[in-house]
Structure 1
Amino acid sequence: MPLNAAGWSNRGWLEIIEFILLMCENGARKTHVMYRCNLNSKQINQYLEFLLDSGMLEMIQERPSSKRYIYKTTDLGKKFIAHYKQLASLFTKAPPPSLT
């Protein structure tokens, strides 16, 4: 199982947010993001709602007459990605704490 930024195997919500934002940098449909992030529909809806409300994602109609939407990372979302990567790099340099 791949390790997260802190060296443990479970993903945290910040990692999931970062992955969603990375997936949506060039625009992505909800189902594509849901499958790539390995989330169920309830979970992806909660994350997308949070990211839309916080201004890190925007919803763009695919075509004027279409009911399909694409989610795209905003400039604020791109800032989050950059800051998250910077913070995560601090944890990858230090060994995980001993639990013994």
Structure 2
Amino acid sequence: MRRSSADICADILSVAVNGAKKTHIVYKANLNFRIVKGYISTLVSGGLLTPEEDERYYSTEKGVEFLKRYRALLAPMQAVPYA
């Protein structure tokens, strides 16, 4: 099953909570560099992710809040068995 854009954003934010370089995000979120570039740009412009001078990206408070709410939204659905 394909991941939604929201799933991918949540994966990236999760990896970047404690800081992560782009390569680490690519491998941990199971994406390629071309795809990650676009998502990182979107997350940075939305204020959910911030780049630092050490070439790492960090989830902002807004990004962590998005992640918490997204996980809370998905929790009841993950308990439902697939047909």
User: TM-score by structure 1 length?
Assistant: 0.76
Number of residues of Structure 1 aligned to a counterpart in Structure 2: 83
Query: Quick check: 1:29 aligned with 2:18?
Result: no
Within the candidate set 34, 44, 50, 1:42 is matched to 34
Q: Percent identity?
A: 30
Q: Which has the larger radius of gyration?
A: 1
In the TM superposition, 1:3-22 aligns within 5 A as 9-22=1-14
The CA deviation at 1:10 is: 2.5
In the aligned structure 2, how far is the partner of 1:92 from the partner of 1:70?
A: 31
Q: Deviations over 1:46-77 (max 9, x none)?
A: 10001000000000001xxxxxx110000000
In the aligned structure 1, how far is the partner of 2:2 from the partner of 2:33?
A: 20
Q: Deviations over 1:12-49 (max 9, x none)?
A: 21111111101001100001101221211110001000
Bigger share in helix? 2
User: 1:75 matched to which residue of 2?
Assistant: 61
Gaps of 5+ in 1: 1-8, 63-68
Gaps of 5+ in 2: none
Letter in 2 for 1:51: L
